């Protein structure tokens, strides 16, 4: 990467864009809402069940001007979801400021394992055991979404719930490949612990991005 390009990436004026698309939010609190998704490349959290492993290597995704990303988003929606990969590996300050300046609400889905940046209307924290969130991620979380792969993940979810604010919305989501086994467990758990809600990957049932 050229030095000038690297400098722009370091400032968040360019970002390693993997893909961008207009679709329906499939998970969590805003399930069912139309939104423009911006998937940023780069992640070292290393979830073995990740369904977008092609996002992990940021070098595979060309640095793209944030201004172009904003221009594309404006054509489609008043809400943007920034995801990855792990978007907080990069500065989100410039991109989110420009989006909000153009009247676009900014949502993020993050593991919280990297320093907080950006201006957010909705901060969805999805913590992973392999690389735990930083303290500032818990402080800013509007939504806590824990992926349930096996029974031990319920204890992890409760440990994470102790670290977010009392106003944070709590969700348990079955890992897609284990959904037939763990969904029943989640239903039973939520009925016994109604502070939690169930999140499903409805976009996969609908066969949309």
Please state, in angstroms and rounded to a whole number, the distance separating the CA atoms of residues 5 and 24: 33
d(CA 172, CA 157): 8
Q: Count other C-beta atoms under 10 Å from residue 115's C-beta.
A: 11
Residue count of the chain = 209
Q: What is the pLDDT of residues 140-166, one digit of tens each?
A: 999 999 999 999 999 999 999 999 999
For the stretch 86-96, pLDDT in tens is 999 999 999 99
Domains and CATH numbers, the chain: 3-200 (3.20.20.70)
- pLDDT tens digits along 166-181: 999 999 999 999 999 9
Torsions phi, psi of 131, nearest 5?
Answer: -155, 95
């Amino acid at each position: 990467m050229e030095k000038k390009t690297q400098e722009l990436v370091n400032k968040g004026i360019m970002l390693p864009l993997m893909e961008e698309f207009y679709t329906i939010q499939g998970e969590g609190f805003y399930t069912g809402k139309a939104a423009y998704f911006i998937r940023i490349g780069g992640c070292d959290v290393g979830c073995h069940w990740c369904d977008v492993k092609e996002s992990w290597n940021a070098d595979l995704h060309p640095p793209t001007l944030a201004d172009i990303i904003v221009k594309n988003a404006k054509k489609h929606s008043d809400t943007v979801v920034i995801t990855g990969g792990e978007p907080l590996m990069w500065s989100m300050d410039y991109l989110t400021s420009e989006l909000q300046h153009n009247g676009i609400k900014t949502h993020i889905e993050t593991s919280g394992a990297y320093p907080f940046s950006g201006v957010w209307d909705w901060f969805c924290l999805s913590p992973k055991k392999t690389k735990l969130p930083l303290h500032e991620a818990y402080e800013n979380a509007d939504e806590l979404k824990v992926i349930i792969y096996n029974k031990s993940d319920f204890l992890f979810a409760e440990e994470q719930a102790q670290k977010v604010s009392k106003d944070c919305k709590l969700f348990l989501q079955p890992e897609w490949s284990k959904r037939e086994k763990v969904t029943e467990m989640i239903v039973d758990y939520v009925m016994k612990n109604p502070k939690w809600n169930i999140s499903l990957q409805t976009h996969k049932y609908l066969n949309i991005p």
